[in-house]
Amino acid sequence: MTPVGAEHVWRFGPRYAWPGRLIAKLVLWHQRWRQRRRLAELDDHLLKDIGKTRKEAADEAGKPFWRP
C-alpha cells in the first residue's frame, strides 16, 4: 500500500502535498459552516447552557465560513 501521510510528502516533496491540504481546508470550512448554522438555530436555554448570549451566537453565526 502507498504511504499517505507525512512519509508521502517527504518521499515525493511538497509539490504533491497540495491536494491533501486542499481537502483538509474544504473539510474545515464545511465544519465551520455547519457549526455556525447550528449555533444560529439554538434557543436561549441551550445558549445559556454553553455560556453564550444570543448576540454572541448571532455574531459567530454571521461570520463567513473561511474566517476563524
What is the rounded CA–CA span in Å between residue 39 and residue 25? 21
- For the chain, the distance separating the N- and C-terminal CA atoms, rounded to the nearest angstrom, is 36
C-alpha 42: how far from chain center: 19
The stretches in the chain having pLDDT less than 50 are 1
Q: Which residues contact 50 (CB under 8 A, 6 or more apart)?
A: 42
The pTM for the full model equals: 0.72
- The predicted pLDDT at position 17 comes to 85
- The predicted pLDDT at position 6 comes to 55
